Structures are given as C-alpha cells and as structure tokens.
Structure 1
Amino acid sequence: MSNTTHAKKDTIVPATIFLALYTIWAILVSSGNQIIHKFDQAVIGIICNTNPANIKFATTFTNLGNTSVIVLETIILFIILVVFKKYAYAFFTAGTMIAANGYNWVIKHAIARHRPYVHHLVAAHGYSFPSGHSVGSATLFGILIVLTILMVKNRAGKTILCIIWACFPLLIGYTRIFTHVHYPSDVLGGFLEGITFVLIGYSILYHYYLKE
C-alpha cells in the first residue's frame, strides 16, 4: 500500500453529484425539453463549419473514440497493470470500463434518441444518447487521470499527463458534434456518465484497497 494513502480521499460525494447531474440531464433529453434544444443549437452554431482542415481533423481524430479502439486500449492498459502486479488498479480499470459501457448500452436503448437528421461526415449506427464515444473516452482517460495521480510521483509530470489525458475526450466529443453524428447534449451526457463511473469506481478502489 502506498505511503501516500493518507493524502487520498473518497470520491463518493462528487460521484453522487455527477450522478444527479447526469440523471437530470437524461430526463431533460428523454422528455425533449426546450433547454436541451436551445443548448444543442447554440453549441452547434459555435462548433460546426465547412473548413476543409477542420473536417479532415474531425473525421480522422474521431476514430480514436471508436469502441474497438477504446476496448483495445483498455485491454493493453489492463495487461500492463497486471504485468506490474498492480492488480487492484487493473480490476478498477476493467470493472469501471465494463460498468460504464454496459450501462450506456442500457440507457441508449431505454431513451432511444435518434441521431441528428443531417448528413453524417462519418459512419454512425444505433441510438444517439448518450454518445458512446464520449462515455468510452471520458471513462478510459478518466481512469488514466486517476492512475496518473496515484502512481506518478513527479508533480510536473503528473500535471502534464493529466492535462493530456483530459484533452482526448474533449477533442473526441468535439468531433462527434462536428461530424453531425451526435447532438452536443449527447456528448455532455456521455461525459457526465463516464465521469460518474470513474468516481464510483475510484470510491470502491479507495474503500477496498487505498483506505488505511
């Protein structure tokens, strides 16, 4: 057990807050509330354009959030953690990813929101809310942020890595809106869901492994 355990805190309170925010957001989306409509239109107006360079970036970078890529990255991370005998961290990674993506599948089919009725710049299938790319990337890179905080001792290195990890889901979420395959509210919902599961997963890790 790390000798810095005393500096670690439980995340059940922020997890509860994010769960409440996500639940409210999902209810607003499923009910077709005007708040969601106005939010979507405002963000689309800011993000979307026809700049060729932006289109090339968005249609390429969005592939980093594909389910197959996220699953492969998760498996590699899990194997690395097992090899270095970080078993609790490995099962935190796998359990959190499985729970987040499994729950996302259930919610997608429960709400059954259709994707935007405009030309999609990349292929997309299934229902729209929450964005699977956003859930997967927010969960995976959220896990990487947690692992970085727990395992990297150098403060500067820790900060730089956390910033890099945080940029990936933000950019992937941006590409899902830009390519017209998701509404902004889908992406935000995905972020809220992913962060919620990371915080819940860490709370379990804290109580069963990190807590003194």
Structure 2
Amino acid sequence: MITDNRSRKDSIIPATIFLVLYAIWAMLVASGNQFIYQFDQNIIELICNNNPVNIKFATTFTVLGNTSVITIETIILCIVLIIFKKYAYMFFTAGTMIAANGYNWISKHAIARHRPFVHHLVEAHGYSFPSGHSVGSATLFGILIILTILLIKNKPLKVVLCIVWVCFPLLIGYTRIFDHVHYPSDVLGGFLEGITFLLIGYSFLYHYYLEN
C-alpha cells in the first residue's frame, strides 16, 4: 500500500474541492442570486414537458430516491457487507450515509428555500435545497461505485456496474426537476453535497484501512 505523506494529502484534495463548490453554490442559492434563477429557468425549459410517457417514467422512477427506499437499500448493503465480513466497508457505508443525510437536514433548515410554486406531479414536503433525493442517491450509488472498484475483480463487470450506478442518481435528479418538486439548482446542490461526503468518507476508509 502507498504510505508516503504526499499520497495521504492528495487523497483529501477532491473532497476539499467539492466542499468549496458546494459552499459557494449554497451561498448563491441562499442569496437569491440572478445566476441561479437563470440557471434554473434554462434547465426547466430544457427538461420539462407534457409527454405522457415521460410523466409516467418520472413519477414512477423518482420513488427509488425516496428516503425510505434509500434507507432500506443502505441497510441491505450493510447487512451484505457484514455477511461477507467486510466490516470496514460497512462502517464506511453507514457512516457516509448518516453524515450526508444528517448534514442535508441541517442545510435544508438553514437555507429554508421553498419548493417551486407550480403543481407538483408527486407528493413532496419540507424545504427545497438541497434535494434530499439527489443527496441520498449520489451518496449511496457513489458508495456502490467505490465498492465495485475495490471489490469486483472482473473488469468488464466492473465497468458495466459503474455505468449503471452513475445512471441512477442522474435519472433520479432528472425526475425531481421534471416532477416540479425541486429546482435544478437543488439537484445540483444535492449532487455536490453527496459527492463531498462520499469523498470525505472514502478518505477515512483509505487512511484508516486501505493504506495500512
């Protein structure tokens, strides 16, 4: 394993970059910046439509990002990791998910942004920024990407699985905008936050387990 100090420092750099990006994005949203308004309008005009097929897909697929569903998936993943005695990976998974979703709750109430004032295609409660579906899915499927890279030996299978894991949060984020329950900036903010905690969690996993 790599043990030099340079490698130790480099492993935290991406997490720091995403943390700064998220902080800047959150401040722009909280201040009602004109750039955020224009960003949201442009994406909404590009994505939203009245196509019945798209509506059916968006209102159905978005359920996969519900807090209850993400929680159940996380618990199942942790149980599987325990069964295979991958305890460090289990703590990485559980700790990262708890931290990301806990901070999401704090951010929502600190910024207190209201949801779009249009008809919602699915039921949604609470504040809008950042999107909880986006935070949860980006974090969980990001964890699955890391676990796949670290634990799966078959390279073609590894590539296929990573592509699948990437698609899930992107599609869930898309449905939140299409269903009119989140602004695009909420979804992007959720992705930035989720990736930030994913990288922080991986940094702990690397320094305290993989590196030793």
Bin the TM-score by the shorter chain: over 0.9
1:25-56 Cα offsets, whole Å, 9 max, x none, are 00000000011001000000100000000000
1:36-93 Cα offsets, whole Å, 9 max, x none, are 0010000001000000000000000000000000000000000000010000000000
Counterpart of 2:45 in structure 1: which amino acid?
Answer: G
Question: Which position in structure 2 is the counterpart of 1:44?
Answer: 44
Question: Which position in structure 2 is the counterpart of 1:179?
Answer: 179
Distance in 1 separating the partners of 2:205 and 2:199: 10
Q: Does structure 1 residue 13 correspond to structure 2 residue 20?
A: no
Aligned residues: 208
1:199 Cα offset (Å) = 0.3
Question: Which position in structure 2 is the counterpart of 1:93?
Answer: 93
Counterpart of 1:160 in structure 2: which amino acid?
Answer: V
CA RMSD of aligned residues (A): 1.3
Aligned 8 A contact 1:11 1:200 in 2? no
Q: How does 1:49-198 map to 2 (within 5 A)?
A: 49-198=49-198
Counterpart of 2:114 in structure 1: which amino acid?
Answer: H
1:99-118 Cα offsets, whole Å, 9 max, x none, are 00000000000000000000
1:127-159 Cα offsets, whole Å, 9 max, x none, are 000000000000000000000010011111111
Counterpart of 2:162 in structure 1: which amino acid?
Answer: C
TM-score (ref. length: structure 1) = 0.96
Aligned 8 A contact 1:74 1:93 in 2? yes
1:11 Cα offset (Å) = 3.1
Counterpart of 1:20 in structure 2: which amino acid?
Answer: V
Distance in 2 separating the partners of 1:173 and 1:12: 26
1:165 Cα offset (Å) = 0.2
Distance in 2 separating the partners of 1:149 and 1:195: 16
DSSP-derived class of the 2:130 partner: coil
- Give 5+ residue unaligned stretches, structure 1: none
TM-score (ref. length: structure 2) = 0.96
Structure 1 stretches of 4+ with a deviation exceeding 4 A read none
1:136-195 Cα offsets, whole Å, 9 max, x none, are 000000000000010011111111100100000000000000000000000000000000
Distance in 2 separating the partners of 1:42 and 1:113: 19
